[in-house]
């Protein structure tokens, strides 16, 4: 029961975008690029400062092989999504929206696995793991909401799909609970793969979008937000 309560709490963080539902369109457009910059920083930060070090600790240098596999896999998926949704027609919803949902869903699945595995070890470790996940999910989900809006989704749809993506944490927890003996090694391989996917989204999809607004004021705002996202993830590491 405590496992399900914990992963449900983590999943509900995805609804943080609800605070933006009443914001007018003009103000939202100004906030979007700031959120994109923040999301870029948080995605890079959670990948390089949290996920990869954890994977290296368990797998050693071979972790980078799975990170590269993640980057290539997300490239192939984006090519397929672009062809599937944008072939011979104008694409109203950017392919990176679906890619971000998949990458975030995989990340949340891993969070659910980690939380459940921690509780199976001890309640104290489970609570600590839950708090750690909540702290890094808040800024990341905020950035993800901005990415979905910028990619062409309406606020309500973005909120709903972000919640669906977050609910994979519950699935991860159930998998971990019923396959506890085997799950530890599987998580070790999934973590660097997911990190590679998140790095791909940040570097290939989000950063080029930031370059579309390059006035000195916009550039400074974007830089501040990227650094802010990285800084939050760095602070949560300690």
- pLDDT over 90 for what percent of the chain? 3
Cα–Cα nearest to 92, from 145, 38, 154: 154
Cα–Cα nearest to 145, from 236, 227, 42: 42
pLDDT range class, residue 161, cuts 50, 70, 90: confident
The answer to whether 7 and 115 have CB atoms below 8 angstroms apart is yes
Please write the tens of the pLDDT for every residue from 21-34: 777 666 766 777 78
At residue 81, the pLDDT reads: 59
Q: What is the mean pLDDT of residues 209-228?
A: 85
Q: Is residue 150 predicted with pLDDT exceeding 80? A: no
Write down the number of H helices and E strands in the chain. Answer: 11, 0
Instruction: Return the SS3 of 122.
Output: coil
- Say how far apart CA 199 and CA 185 lie, in whole Å: 22
At residue 202, the pLDDT reads: 83
DSSP string, 59-110: HGGGHHHHHHHHHHHHHHHHHHHHHHHHTTS--SS-HHHHHHHHHHHHHHHH
pLDDT range class, residue 65, cuts 50, 70, 90: very high
Instruction: Return the SS3 of 237.
Output: coil
At residue 89, the pLDDT reads: 42
Q: What is the mean pLDDT of residues 196-221?
A: 82
Cα–Cα nearest to 139, from 3, 16, 57: 16
The residue that leads in pLDDT, 159 or 151, is: 159
Q: Is residue 176 predicted with pLDDT exceeding 80? A: no
pTM, full prediction: 0.67
At residue 121, the pLDDT reads: 65
Residue 161 CA neighbour count, 13 Å, CB half: 22
CA 53 to chain CA mean position, Å = 17
- Say how far apart CA 111 and CA 103 lie, in whole Å: 12
């Amino acid at each position: 029961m405590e496992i399900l309560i914990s992963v449900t709490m983590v999943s509900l963080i995805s609804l943080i975008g609800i605070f933006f539902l009443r914001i007018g369109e003009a103000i939202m457009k100004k906030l979007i690029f700031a959120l994109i910059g923040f999301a870029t920083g948080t995605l890079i930060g959670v990948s390089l400062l949290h996920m990869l070090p954890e994977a290296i600790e368990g797998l050693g240098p071979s972790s980078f092989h799975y990170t590269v596999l993640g980057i290539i896999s997300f490239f192939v998926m984006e090519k397929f999504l672009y062809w599937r949704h944008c072939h011979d027609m104008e694409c109203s919803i950017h392919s990176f929206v679906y890619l971000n949902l998949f990458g975030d869903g995989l990340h949340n699945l891993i969070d659910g696995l980690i939380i459940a595995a921690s509780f199976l070890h001890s309640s104290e470790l489970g609570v600590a793991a839950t708090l750690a996940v909540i702290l890094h999910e808040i800024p990341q989900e905020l950035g993800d909401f901005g990415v979905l809006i910028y990619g062409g989704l309406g606020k309500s749809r973005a909120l709903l799909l972000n919640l669906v993506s977050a609910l994979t944490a519950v699935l991860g927890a159930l998998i971990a609970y019923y396959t506890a003996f085997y799950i530890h090694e599987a998580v070790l391989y999934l973590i660097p793969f997911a990190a590679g996917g998140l790095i791909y989204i940040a570097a290939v999809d989000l950063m080029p979008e930031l370059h579309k607004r390059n006035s000195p004021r916009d550039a400074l705002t974007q830089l501040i937000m990227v650094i802010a996202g990285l800084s939050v993830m760095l602070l949560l590491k300690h």
